[in-house]
A and B are shown apart, each in its own frame.
Chain A
Amino acid sequence: MNAKHLSPETVSERRLEAVRLRLDGLTVAESARRTGLSAPTVSAAWKAFREGGWEAVPIRPRGRPTGQAHRLDETLQRRLWQRLTHWPDTDEPGWSSRALAQALSDAGAGDASPRAIEHWLATQNLKPSPMALDDLARRRSREGRWFRQQVQPALERLGQGSAAHWQGGVRVAVPATSAENASRRYQLYLHGKRGALYTRCFTAPPLADDYLTLFARLASRGPMALIFHGAYFQACPEIQGWLDDHPDFALINVPPNANLRAASTRG
């Protein structure tokens, strides 16, 4: 049983129960089996009990209390939005949190750590999760067939390993706190190596030129495969023409309604 996603209260109760079982003479393994905790957790609870009594058994809350994280002030947030609605001056395909922090610092517009910017992106609903493509090749489903028939041949044609592709998409981003559509924004996003997020925002749906700028920035890195979700490029002759002129750039559209369960991302 995996107790990883249990609430802190439940884990504390189970740790107390594990200690009681140990006191009743059960082994660590048996206590772990009965409480659904792992053996190291039971051992840790037992050790805490021996050193500090019952009070030491429940887990203590970790990290900063909710709501006390460093918040970016409004001026800084406005400046971030201004940056996000323009392409980076470098040839990056979008803004990473590191690049945003650097740009703000270079312009003397304020200091914010990449981590603080990541948190801010999450609060603005600008941090989509990457698609889970790892085990698709083995899946017997519509998505698995798509991966085997479209993604794998494209990667092989470009001579790339399965990990050397980029993925991305376009979406409407509405912050969870927004009452209406007033703060609705359109977001182009990419996930690069190890799921690193690159993003660019718009106040209206992106046009062909916006997509082509993105593709050109990616294409400048060499042969490229981009798995993309959220746009209907078949209806756009400009993009089709550009793709014809760039055979080293493979644009692979995610089929509509594909169930590519998003992988969870860290902080």
Chain B
Amino acid sequence: MTTLTHLQRLEAESIQIMREVVAETENPVMLYSVGKDSAVMLHLARKAFAPSPPPFPLLHVDTRWKFRAMYEFRDRMAEEAGMDLLVHINPEGIEKDINPFTHGSAIHTDVMKTEGLKQAMDKYGFDAAFGGARRDEEKSRAKERVFSFRTAQHRWDPKNQRPELWKLYNTRKHQRESIRVFPLSNWTELDIWQYIYLQEIPIVPLYYSAERPVVERDGALIMVDDERMPLEPGEVPMMRKVRFRTLGCYPLTGAIESEADTLPDIIQEMLLTRTSERQGRVIDHDSAASMEKKKQEGYF
């Protein structure tokens, strides 16, 4: 009998979760945020249903403030996977020109991401949405189940979660309720990087170290990705060798100084790091337990 490696066990678990969702729900969708976790999730989905393309579309809840490299990568990967790519931008956000600079990260995240996701779920009638969240990312994510139920209003109640003993998942839900499913819950950041390396999964080049124009904002290195980034009077961005451990809206995502420009270097850096990747996300610093509040309101 062959013994599965740690990564093979994680892979098998994730594939089982995906197949379970497709078997038990009517209209699933895969949330695709273009990051490394999404890349792994997409890879697993393609494996789970090969040789057919996965039987659900990709949904990108766009904020219009992602890195340019992310948009290019998103379109390329959707085409390669042979999957439908649905892009939803909150029309109210466009109308009011919601952006992280004028309105702040909290309002921007709430309108463009939380409300945008809820709108898209309602618009297309999805009853299950795969997400690439992992338990090691953040405290509130650590206590969320693999199958995380949402009310008809998309709210999450952390005190009312179903047990998932022996990896048995109860997928029954009331009408208009939906499920957020996290097939990568039990993966760590290091697992993700090792899997990307072993499976040669393409990822956005921003994860690799390179010289990029950055400015310092409250101790974070923010990349000047386009001309919309407002600079302080007289400010000149510096070219510094940086990479991103996590990717989101570029004005809200801090880079780290790094020399790691290959996957083995990144993995080695991961082994030495003592901070969470989400320390680079400005939106997680809003207030104590802000992620849990956002999740209760419907944030992915």
Contact = CB atoms under 8 A, between A and B. Distances in A.
Looking at A172, A186, A235, the one whose CB has the most chain B CB atoms below 10 A away is A235
Interface stretch (A14-22, A138-146, A159-167, A207-215): A207-215
A256 interface: yes
Interface residues of A, number: 20
Nearest to B235: A207
Interface stretch (B25-33, B70-78, B144-152, B206-214): B206-214
Contacts of B212: 256
B224 interface: yes
Contact of A207 (B210, B224, B229, B236): B236
Interface string A190-205: 0000000000000001
Interface in B249-292: 257
Nearest to A231: B236
Given A205-B216, A257-B210, A257-B211, A236 B235 contact: yes
Main secondary structure of the interface of B (DSSP, over half): strand
B220 to A, nearest CB: 13
Nearest to A212: B234
A175 interface: no
Nearest to A254: B239
Contacts of B210: 256-257
Contact of A232 (B213, B216, B234): B213
A231 B234 contact: no
A205 B231 contact: no
Interface of B: 210-213, 215-216, 224, 227, 229, 231, 234-240, 257
8 contacts: A172-B240, A205-B236, A209-B234, A230-B240, A235-B227, A236-B231, A256-B211, A257-B210
Closest 5 pairs (CB-CB, A-B): A232-B213, A207-B234, A232-B237, A256-B211, A208-B234
